[in-house]
Amino acid sequence: MARFLIVEARFYDHLNDMLIAGARAALKAAGHKADVITVPGALEIPGALALADESEQYDGYVAIGAVIRGETYHFEIVAGESARGIMALTMDGLAIGNGVLTVENEAQAIVRADPNQKDKGGEAAKAAMALLELRERFGG
């Protein structure tokens, strides 16, 4: 049994609730434990992941949130920098599943977040578990 931390950018409550439900269900089905922490937005996710990893309490991580395109360039910065930070930590050896949705509108987000539809929270948890297995296989 591994211990995972779900780091959620709590901006869209209803979307996050679905993403977390999917992630928790996938982790539980595999026999793992999960805690959840909340950060203000997607840009804070990589920092929280790095801080949590320093604690050595967790084996893997699931990043959860939603970035919905608006009228300004802010969408590109938040989506790109959040993904870049998560990827940099993954390249450093952390087992992270990226479940941060980057979508055009709320309707797209709902379809992707809903565990009964695309279940991107569950997929992110499965990705984190797969990376953890690979890290263990390669002696990391």
Query: The pTM is what?
Result: 0.96
The ranges assigned to domains in the chain are 3-137
Ligand-binding site membership of 134 (annotated):
no
pLDDT tens-digit readout, 57-90: 999 999 999 999 988 889 999 999 999 999 999 9
Ligand-binding site membership of 101 (annotated):
no
Residue 50: Cβ within 10 Å count: 14
Q: Which amino acids are annotated catalytic?
A: 74
Q: Where are the beta strands (DSSP E) in 10-116?
A: 33-39, 60-68, 96-103
Q: Where are the beta strands (DSSP E) in 11-87?
A: 33-39, 60-68
Q: Looking at domain 3-137, does it have CATH number 3.40.50.960?
A: yes
Amino acid 67: pLDDT: 97
